[in-house]
Amino acid sequence: MTVLADRHNLDTEIAPSDQKADTYVSLIKRLSTQSVEKHFDAYADIDWDSKEMSVDQDDPRWILRNGELDPLGTTAWYKDLDDKTASRIGLHMVAMKMKIGLQFEGVLKRGLLGFAAKLPNNSPEFRYCYHEVIEEAQHSLMFQEFVNRTGLDVPGLSGMDEFGANTVVQLGRRFPPLFFFFVLGGEDPIDFVQRKALRSDADIHPLLERIMRIHVTEEARHLSFARNYLKKNVPNLDPIRRQALAMGIPAILGSMAQLMMQAPSHVVKTYEIPKEVVKEAYGSDIHRQNTLASLAKVRKLTNELGLINPVSIQIWKRFGIWDEPK
């Protein structure tokens, strides 16, 4: 079993050093080396059948007690629920987001394979992409295993979401920069939420904690690759593709952030959560600040790459994800 550091000591993204010799290529090679030296297996590195890892729908640790992590827990409606119902809603939320996460990673894997298929021989990105595909497959295994053990039959993406996913997959071959912004749009928000939870004093179920720790450790590499790929390649795009990128980024980020940061519609429907409660929770200042913070890194990157202009900024504002650069 691969050993993880303590809960509050989390791996960070790797960036090129200040040394001239540490180029983009050497960074990619370091990421590949780390994937060999520190990787996880969904079944070898989680003791699924141990007593402490068992999942009980009535376990009070699923209750949404920390409003900073999910503002639904701050509403009077939720606080008035009996503990069993509150626990089951909390667990259902986790299970749904695990299901959405594994489906997002399915899109990511297919897009990465399409991207890698067009790389030339001796490309360092080829090896790294296959390491990432393997790691994402392990994540999908542990996410689905968690869902199975909840006893909840959570649905997948809607038909429209599936159509959009198939479109995104093609970007890996046809327009890699927009594809990697899609990667950041899905990974940055969930990475933000998981790191915030792990650094909090919340009483987290040990199975959920183990899954999150594995996920953020390996996602640090994945996020590093996506960001550095964009820094290297976006400056070389022609004006037409730069404008297409500038317009597409906020639409992707806005949609992905809503998917990752709000209560899934299936949970709202299953527990008959009133519309005004949903609006209270996810129209709150806490939720807005969390959403803005979850996209802070990718928004900063977009600005640094010169992809913010008077037209695109209106799309950022329309999706409610614009925040003036600090």
User: Is the pLDDT reported for residue 315 higher than 60?
Assistant: yes
Question: pLDDT tens-digit profile of 160-179?
Answer: 466 667 788 999 999 999 99
Whether the Cβ atoms of residue 7 and residue 205 lie closer than 8 Å to each other: no
Neighbouring CB atoms inside 10 A of 279's CB total 10
pTM: predicted TM-score of the whole model, two decimal places? 0.92
User: Is the pLDDT reported for residue 159 higher than 60?
Assistant: no
Report the range of poorest mean pLDDT among 13-27, 89-103, 250-264. Answer: 13-27
Amino acid at 13: E
What DSSP line would sit under 266-313, residue for residue? Answer: HHHHHTT--HHHHHHHHTSHHHHHHHHHHTHHHHHHHHHTT---TTHH
- Work out the mean pLDDT of the chain and round it to a whole number: 92
Question: pLDDT tens-digit profile of 212-233?
Answer: 999 999 999 999 999 999 999 9
Averaged pLDDT, 33-54: 97
pLDDT of residue 10: 83
Averaged pLDDT, 44-50: 97
The CATH architecture that domain 25-318 belongs to is: Orthogonal Bundle (1.10)
The full set of domain ranges for the chain reads 25-318
The band of 20, judged by pLDDT with boundaries at 50, 70 and 90, is low
